[in-house]
């Protein structure tokens, strides 16, 4: 086969692959006419694509159809980095809550997600399970204030900005936040988010607060915004937060 014919076949195989991925059932007659080839040549091309691992179902004969196997695409889900972060955090939370129902494949899923991150990122993610803590459910008086706070924030909070807090927590990066205290005072802070604590359904972030130069606990529903900063921080031991945990009546983690 000449170099020109080889190039033409490779180009045809690429186009055929794209058509099969984009369309449903295509007839052999239609495909042969589209590429200006005989049906015999078409089936030779299909054989090559099968050898490359593309699962193609083909019906020979008059009006025969060609399609990708109905299960093609399973396991080929493409995720954005923030989506992978969300899934990793969710899986870790499920682990910490000792959830067993429908969670038999957590380890396998985490290993596949981890393969998408760099070596440096993997090191940070490896500590994830030890940095998320689950406590008792929130008390009724806290729940009332919690729901009120969320209602106030529906207009102000940008979910895309708050995702920066997740990224900062996961990859130990500093983050600038706007925070509204229980008294309604608004401040701007730069924090290091070291640990997360859930008193269902209220989330807290245990952080080093550069404004106060001290350890602080922030209720996540009181965050007004969060903007990721490039500077990383070194993770502090949980014991450094003992006094602030006691002060806020948070159970021992």
Q: Residue ranges of the domains in the chain?
A: 3-68, 81-129, 132-247
> Is the sign of the CA dihedral 15, 20, 24, 30 positive or negative?
positive
Query: Is beta strand 202-209 parallel, antiparallel or unpaired with respect to 186-199?
Result: antiparallel
Instruction: Report, as an integer, the average pLDDT of 147-158.
Output: 52
How far is residue 127's CA from residue 203's CA, in Å, rounded to a whole number? 19
Q: Identify the pLDDT of residue 82.
A: 67
Closest CA relative to residue 202, chosen from 163, 149, 125: 149
109-151 residue pLDDT tens:
777 777 777 777 777 777 777 898 888 777 887 777 675 555 5
210-232 residue pLDDT tens:
999 999 999 888 888 899 998 89
CB count within 10 Å of CB 35 equals: 18
Model pTM score: 0.59
More confident of the two residues 173 and 24: 173
Asked if pLDDT for residue 245 goes beyond 50, the answer is yes
Rounded to whole angstroms, what are the CA distances from 59 to 31, 43, 64, 144? 13, 10, 5, 63
How far is residue 207's CA from residue 209's CA, in Å, rounded to a whole number? 6
Give the contacts of 21 (CB within 8 A, at least 6 positions apart): 68
Q: Identify the pLDDT of residue 79.
A: 58
Highest averaged pLDDT of the listed ranges 54-63, 152-161, 170-179: 170-179
Asked whether 72 and 62 are in contact (CB, 8 A), the reply is no
Helix (H) or strand (E) holding 91: helix 81-96
44-87 residue pLDDT tens:
988 888 888 778 877 665 556 787 765 555 455 555 666 777 77
The domain made up of 3-68 has a fold known as: Arc Repressor Mutant, subunit A (1.10.10)
Closest CA relative to residue 49, chosen from 31, 33, 63, 64: 31
How far is residue 122's CA from residue 84's CA, in Å, rounded to a whole number? 13
Q: Identify the pLDDT of residue 74.
A: 46
> Is the sign of the CA dihedral 197, 199, 202, 208 positive or negative?
negative
How far is residue 102's CA from residue 86's CA, in Å, rounded to a whole number? 18
Please give the sequence-ordered ranges of beta strands (E in DSSP) within 76-183, or none if there are none.
132-134, 173-180
Report CA Rg, the chain: 27
Q: Identify the pLDDT of residue 3.
A: 59
């Amino acid at each position: 086969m000449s170099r020109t014919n080889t190039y033409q076949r490779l180009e045809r195989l690429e186009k055929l692959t794209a058509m099969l991925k984009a369309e449903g059932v295509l007839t052999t007659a239609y495909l042969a006419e589209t590429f200006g080839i005989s049906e015999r040549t078409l089936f030779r091309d299909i054989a090559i694509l099968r050898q490359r691992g593309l699962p193609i179902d083909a019906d020979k004969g008059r009006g025969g159809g060609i399609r990708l196997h109905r299960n093609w695409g399973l396991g080929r889900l493409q995720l954005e980095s923030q989506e992978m972060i969300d899934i990793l955090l969710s899986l870790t939370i499920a682990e910490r809550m000792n959830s067993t129902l429908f969670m038999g494949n957590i380890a396998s899923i985490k290993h596949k997600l981890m393969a998408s991150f760099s070596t440096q990122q993997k090191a940070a993610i490896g500590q994830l399970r030890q940095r998320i803590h689950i406590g008792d459910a929130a008390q009724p008086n806290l729940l009332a204030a919690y729901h009120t706070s969320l209602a106030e924030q529906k207009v102000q909070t940008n979910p895309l900005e708050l995702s920066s807090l997740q990224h900062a927590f996961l990859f130990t990066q500093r983050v600038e936040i706007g925070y509204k205290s229980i008294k309604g005072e608004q401040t701007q802070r730069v924090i290091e988010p070291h640990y997360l604590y859930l008193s269902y359904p209220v989330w807290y972030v245990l952080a080093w607060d550069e404004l106060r130069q001290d350890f602080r606990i922030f209720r996540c529903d009181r965050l007004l915004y969060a903007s990721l900063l490039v500077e990383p921080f070194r993770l502090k031991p949980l014991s450094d937060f003992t006094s602030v945990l006691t002060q806020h009546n948070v159970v021992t983690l």
